[in-house]
Amino acid sequence: MSSELLDALTALEQQKGIKRDVLIEAIEAALVTAYKRNFNQAQNVRVDINLDSGSMIVYSRKDVVEEVEDERLQVSLADAQVINPHYQVGDVIEEEVTPRNFGRIAAQTAKQVVTQRVREAERGLIYEEYVDREEDIVNGIVERLDARNIYVGLGKVEAVLPTNEQIPTETYRPHDRIKVFITKVERTTRGPQVFVSRTHPGLLRRLFEMEVPEIYDGIVEIKSIAREAGDRSKISVVAHHEDVDPVGACVGAKGARVQTIVNELGGEKIDIVEWSEDPVQFVANALSPSQVLDVQVSDDDKSTTVVVPDFQLSLAIGKRGQNARLAAKLTGWKIDIKSETDARELGIYPRAFEESVEEDYEDFEPQEDFDFYKD
């Protein structure tokens, strides 16, 4: 092996991050195969590469045994002790068997191995880089489209954005810059495969972490997310500092923070509500922008009956039931919405509160509407 190739291996280590020792081991293993194939040899051999001189030496390896069964792989103890009286059964004797024209074959083999290992190492490095970024947000460029998928360039790898992970209201064109959420990274025979999404709730979470310093710092926490991508989403937030308004922090001055996220998601409406450990207050908050008169809780089946003013019934339910559906996903409670008139006719509103129930409702106040993107 020439010193130029050794220099090339050193350069690859610096540029690609591939350890030179790894490449040397791979070349040695490939040279063993090349030797057996090109010189019709079946014995056990080892190839040693001298890093100082660049020379390559082929050694045959034979096990020392009492009785020889295969002369290509074994040597008797008596013959071994002629070479060195210290040999014992189980030792291995090495003898140089380097062919005269082995250098040309070695150079070709080394080139093939290096090319293959560089490709494999690059794939491995890419996989390690992106597998650590699962459930993270990245910037990408739309490169091409087919009937089912959109392919997004992330720099070193091309990610797949499947049809079911695309926002229905968005149109993607080549060279568009978009933010995507990495959902899965897989090893394949053709290299690492990265799958991304524009509809995953995690995308919304990461966008808020990027835009709201209080969330990034842990002062405000996103407790839950309910999303119908491209149309409407709800998030519940709570502050871990009494002087911080969690909803206001997410909205930002004049709605600037949330508007940035809305723009990134193509105009998707976002309701931001305050989380509460009290299901009565939490469900009432989650039904924003509707006003809520009463929330009746059944712990047995984790369901609630919500009473709203007659003129707010359609707002509480939402178009195609969307507002109620998202509120249920956000809170984890089943929600049955009744108008005030229907609730009175059913005799469930107003309730004859017991003293303990009255105390529970002393602090209950319907939450103001924090949705800046009303229907």
Looking at per-residue pLDDT, the higher value among 66 and 219 belongs to: 219
Coil/strand/helix, residue 175: coil
- Per the structure block, which two tokens stand in for 164? 């079911």
CATH 3.10.20.30 applies to domain 201-275: no
Handedness of CA 221, 304, 229, 249 (dihedral sign): negative
- Tens of pLDDT along 232-248? 999 999 999 999 999 99
pLDDT of residue 353: 53
Amino acid (1-letter code) at residue 309 = P
Distances (CA, A) of 314 to 290, 301, 323: 9, 25, 9
Give the whole-angstrom CA distance, residue 30 versus residue 10: 19
- Per the structure block, which two tokens stand in for 87? 């040999």
pLDDT of residue 356: 43
Mean of the per-residue pLDDT values for the chain?
Answer: 87
Do 135-197 and 278-353 have matching folds? no
pLDDT exceeds 50 at position 375: no
- Per the structure block, which two tokens stand in for 124? 């491995």
Give the β-pairing of 177-188 and 158-162. unpaired
- Say if residues 327 and 309 touch (Cβ distance below 8 Å): no
- Per the structure block, which two tokens stand in for 194? 């990265």
pTM of the model: 0.72
- Tens of pLDDT along 81-93? 888 888 899 898 8
Burial string for 216-253 (b: 16+ CB within 10 Å, else e) reads eeebbebbbbbbbbbbbbbbbbebeeeeeebbbbbbee
Coil/strand/helix, residue 163: helix
- DSSP labels for 90-139? T-EEEEE---TTHHHHHHHHHHHHHHHHHHHHHHHHHHHHHHTTTT-EEE
CATH number of 278-353: 3.30.300.20
What own/partner pairs with CB < 8 Å and gap ≥ 24 does 255-262 have?
255/372, 257/211, 257/212, 258/211, 258/372, 259/372, 260/211, 261/204, 261/207, 261/208, 261/211, 262/373
Neighbours of 263 (CB within 10 A): 10
Q: What's the fold here for domain 135-197?
A: OB fold (Dihydrolipoamide Acetyltransferase, E2P) (2.40.50)
Average pLDDT over residues 254-271: 95
Give the whole-angstrom CA distance, residue 266 versus residue 294: 35
Q: Both ends of the chain: CA-CA distance in Å?
A: 73
Distances (CA, A) of 158 to 64, 73, 161, 192, 327: 54, 49, 10, 9, 36
Task: Please state, for a pLDDT cut of 70, what percent of the chain lies above it.
Answer: 90
Label residue 252 left, alpha or beta by phi (over 0 means left) and psi (-120 to 50 means alpha).
left
Segments making up each domain of the chain, as ranges: 2-128, 135-197, 201-275, 278-353
Peptide bond preceding 366 in cis form (omega within 30 of 0): no
Average pLDDT over residues 308-322: 96
Class of domain 2-128: alpha beta
Give the whole-angstrom CA distance, residue 313 versus residue 298: 21
How is residue 219 annotated by DSSP? S
Give the whole-angstrom CA distance, residue 109 versus residue 33: 10
Give the whole-angstrom CA distance, residue 371 versus residue 288: 7
Give the whole-angstrom CA distance, residue 306 versus residue 331: 13
- Tens of pLDDT along 106-143? 777 777 877 787 788 778 888 988 999 999 999 999 99
pLDDT exceeds 50 at position 354: no
- Say if residues 24 and 48 touch (Cβ distance below 8 Å): no
Give the whole-angstrom CA distance, residue 357 versus residue 360: 5
Give the whole-angstrom CA distance, residue 219 versus residue 11: 47
